[in-house]
């Protein structure tokens, strides 16, 4: 069986001719130009293809070093070769990342170009094999998270330099202090409500109320809320007889509220003392008439377990970095369901929260932006939340996020052909590619486990790409921790060791729950 296929494409630079060989083995899959030592140029980047035709041998592969720029073919491997010192030159201008992620696509395009130039005596090119088709999928499988990580890192650094560097960590002086209504939807949260609302009553803001929305709780939630309302007149309680979901409770709270600005907070979350000032500033600053919502910066409270430590890194290196990058690009995918502030007029204009959507925060964000309301990100408005500590709870949470993302894409597909929403197309495409990546990752994993894929998947390519993705993840986490450290009293760098678990927690679990 021949170990190599010859494309027989005649390459010329005005000085000579040569064969372009395509190695199709499990050891490598590269286009190789055959050079002679005495005709090699001093700079391989010129890619002068002054090659002579080299007959092929069925005795076995050459001694080709996949990681080196050139390798020597031993005369014993190809006895018909005229010059045993012939070398295989691999172009040095290809950077490592290009070799890992883009080379396969370039190879396919080059092969097709060679096929079109069907010279006399050259054999017909065979259709792409299953291994080559697998390489197409693997290229996207590794390219998508790599490119997105680069976009997030660059966008996060630009935002940190352009916006955060100019802001003070101290609360701003507000030109006016509009009345704020804090909406707290709760269902069977009696064990944490007293601590949550007790801390909200200590916020540094002159005019606000707390509207606690009891969504059909069956525990002592109602008794706790009524006891808190008796202690402080700023606490108001709305009891709903039947549980109808968070979105329904928020819609009821909007009607019952008295404030111009609404702040939604989960029942188990704790606001930083100056969070309201940072949020309200975006609504009263000059030129803020079209600001419809501001999302805060959620932080993890329970950091003792492995999942808790991983989620500390996730909220810093993914959620915070993504929001910064999206601010630079112009549109934010979603406000945070844990802490977000809304202009009441904007909510009424877009139809308030959708009660038939799984993720009300994503849905209302898209509704606001489609109505030309601006959404901003305020990293100084901190909110401390409880993260899932068990794998089952984490998977359930991510499954709900994934389902909500798909629902939003289906409902907002018209942004692709609506000119006034053209700035939302990058968000739509990014979310769509993420879903496609998740399906491809799961399918490729199942295929590998179900069948003998030892000869169908280029494992060298997988190992190299996985290594570079891991290094990219470490760099991304380091950049995010450097940006987020200014908002933490404790050092975030002590969690950096757990960054090695981050790809499994975010990409792999996320891919499974999407499918």
> Taking 90 as the threshold, does the pLDDT of residue 219 lie above it?
no
> What local confidence, expressed as pLDDT, does residue 185 receive?
93
> What local confidence, expressed as pLDDT, does residue 125 receive?
45
DSSP strand pairing (87-89 vs 235-240): unpaired
- Tell which residue, 64, 143, 144, 45, has the closest CA to residue 97: 143
> Taking 70 as the threshold, does the pLDDT of residue 76 lie above it?
no
In the structure, what pLDDT confidence band is assigned to residue 211 with cuts at 50, 70 and 90?
very high
Number of domains in the chain: 1
> Taking 50 as the threshold, does the pLDDT of residue 10 lie above it?
no
408-421 residue pLDDT tens? 888 888 888 888 88
Give strand pairing partners of 212.
184, 237
> Does the residue 117 lie in any domain?
yes
> Does the residue 459 lie in any domain?
no
> Taking 90 as the threshold, does the pLDDT of residue 346 lie above it?
yes
Q: Are 213 and 188 in contact (CB under 8 A)?
A: no
276-326 residue pLDDT tens? 999 999 999 888 889 999 999 998 888 877 788 888 877 877 788 889 988
For residues 119 and 301, the model is more confident at 301
Output the CA–CA distances (angstroms, integers) from residue 512 to 249, 506, 509, in the order listed. 31, 10, 5
> Does the residue 173 lie in any domain?
no
For residues 339 and 387, the model is more confident at 339
> What local confidence, expressed as pLDDT, does residue 492 receive?
72
Q: CA-based Rg of the chain, rounded to a whole angstrom? A: 29
Parent domain of 82? 4-127
> Taking 70 as the threshold, does the pLDDT of residue 271 lie above it?
yes
% of the chain with per-residue pLDDT over 70: 65
> What local confidence, expressed as pLDDT, does residue 111 receive?
56
Return left, alpha or beta for 330; rule: phi > 0 is left, psi -120 to 50 is alpha, else beta.
left
> Does the residue 255 lie in any domain?
no
Output the CA–CA distances (angstroms, integers) from residue 252 to 23, 215, 220, 237, 240, in the order listed. 67, 10, 21, 12, 9
d(CA 60, CA 70): 18
**Planar angle of CA 250, 253, 254, nearest 5 degrees:** 90
Output the CA–CA distances (angstroms, integers) from residue 247 to 60, 297, 313, 354, 356, in the order listed. 67, 21, 29, 6, 8
> Taking 70 as the threshold, does the pLDDT of residue 45 lie above it?
no
For residues 465 and 481, the model is more confident at 481
Q: Are 107 and 129 in contact (CB under 8 A)?
A: no
Mean pLDDT of 8-14: 36
17-43 residue pLDDT tens? 333 443 443 333 334 433 333 333 333
189-208 residue pLDDT tens? 888 888 889 899 999 999 99
Structure tokens at 170: 């101290």
142-181 residue pLDDT tens? 778 888 888 888 988 898 888 877 777 788 888 888 999 9
> What local confidence, expressed as pLDDT, does residue 208 receive?
93
> Taking 70 as the threshold, does the pLDDT of residue 475 lie above it?
yes
> What local confidence, expressed as pLDDT, does residue 357 receive?
87
d(CA 340, CA 7): 59
First vs last C-alpha separation in the chain: 41
The residue length of the chain stands at 515
For helices 360-370 and 246-256, give the axis angle rounded to 10 degrees: 60
User: Which secondary structure element, helix H or strand E, spans residue 214, and what is its range?
Assistant: strand 208-215
User: What is the 3-state secondary structure of 83-131?
Assistant: CCCCEEECCCCCCHHHHHHHHHHHHHHHHHHHHHCCCCCCCCCCCCCHH
Mean pLDDT of the chain: 73
Q: Are 401 and 357 in contact (CB under 8 A)?
A: no
Structure tokens at 107: 């190879």
Cβ-Cβ contacts under 8 Å for 397 (sequence gap 6 or more): 388
In the structure, what pLDDT confidence band is assigned to residue 459 with cuts at 50, 70 and 90?
low
Q: Are 192 and 200 in contact (CB under 8 A)?
A: no
Structure tokens at 437: 């990546």
> What local confidence, expressed as pLDDT, does residue 302 receive?
81
d(CA 89, CA 18): 13
> What local confidence, expressed as pLDDT, does residue 449 receive?
61
> Does the residue 293 lie in any domain?
no
d(CA 99, CA 107): 11
> Taking 60 as the threshold, does the pLDDT of residue 55 lie above it?
no
């Amino acid at each position: 069986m021949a170990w190599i296929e010859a494309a027989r494409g005649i390459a010329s630079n005005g000085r000579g001719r040569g064969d372009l060989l395509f190695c199709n083995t499990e050891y490598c899959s590269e286009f190789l130009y055959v050079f002679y030592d005495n005709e090699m140029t001093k700079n391989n980047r010129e890619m002068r293809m002054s090659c002579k035709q080299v007959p092929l041998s069925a005795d076995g592969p050459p001694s080709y070093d996949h990681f080196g720029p050139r390798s020597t073919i031993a005369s014993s491997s190809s006895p018909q070769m005229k010059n045993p010192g012939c070398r295989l030159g691999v172009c040095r201008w290809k950077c490592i990342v290009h070799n890992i992620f883009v080379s396969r696509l370039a190879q396919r395009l080059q092969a097709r170009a060679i096929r079109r130039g069907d010279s006399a005596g050259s054999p017909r090119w065979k259709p792409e094999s299953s291994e080559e088709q697998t390489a197409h999928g693997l290229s996207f499988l590794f390219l998508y998270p790599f490119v997105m990580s680069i976009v997030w890192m660059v966008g996060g650094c630009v935002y940190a330099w352009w916006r955060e560097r100019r802001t003070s960590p101290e609360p701003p002086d507000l030109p006016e202090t509009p009345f704020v209504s804090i909406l707290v939807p709760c269902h069977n949260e009696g064990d944490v409500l007293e601590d949550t609302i007790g801390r909200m009553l200590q916020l540094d803001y002159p005019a606000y109320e707390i509207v606690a929305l009891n969504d059909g709780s069956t525990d002592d939630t109602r008794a706790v809320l009524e006891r808190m309302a008796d202690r402080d007149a700023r606490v108001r309680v709305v009891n709903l007889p039947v549980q109808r979901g968070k979105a329904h409770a928020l819609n009821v709270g909007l009607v019952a509220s008295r404030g111009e600005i609404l702040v939604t907070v989960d029942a188990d979350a704790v606001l930083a003392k100056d969070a309201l000032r940072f949020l309200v500033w975006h609504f009263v600053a000059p030129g803020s008439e079209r600001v419809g919502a501001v999302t805060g910066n959620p932080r993890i409270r329970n950091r003792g377990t492995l999942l808790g430590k991983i989620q500390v890194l996730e909220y810093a290196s993914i959620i915070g970095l993504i929001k910064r990058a999206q601010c630079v690009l112009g549109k934010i995918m979603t406000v945070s369901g844990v802490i977000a502030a809304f202009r009441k007029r904007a909510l009424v204009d877009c139809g308030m929260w959708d009660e038939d959507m799984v993720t009300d925060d994503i849905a209302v964000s898209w509704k606001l932006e489609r109505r030309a309301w601006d959404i901003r990100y305020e990293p100084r408005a901190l909110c401390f939340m409880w993260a899932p500590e068990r794998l089952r709870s984490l998977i359930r949470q991510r499954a709900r996020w994934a389902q909500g993302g798909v629902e939003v894409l289906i409902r907002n597909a018209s942004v692709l052909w609506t000119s006034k929403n053209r700035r939302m197309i990058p968000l739509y495409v990014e979310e769509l590619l993420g879903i496609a990546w998740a399906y491809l990752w799961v399918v490729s994993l199942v295929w590998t486990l179900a069948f003998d894929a030892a000869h169908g998947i280029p494992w060298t390519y997988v190992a190299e790409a996985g290594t570079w993705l891991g290094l990219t993840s470490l760099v991304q986490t380091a950049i995010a921790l450097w940006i987020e450290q200014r908002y933490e009293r404790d050092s975030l760098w002590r969690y950096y060791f757990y960054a090695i678990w981050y790809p499994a927690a975010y990409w792999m679990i996320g891919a499974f729950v999407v499918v």
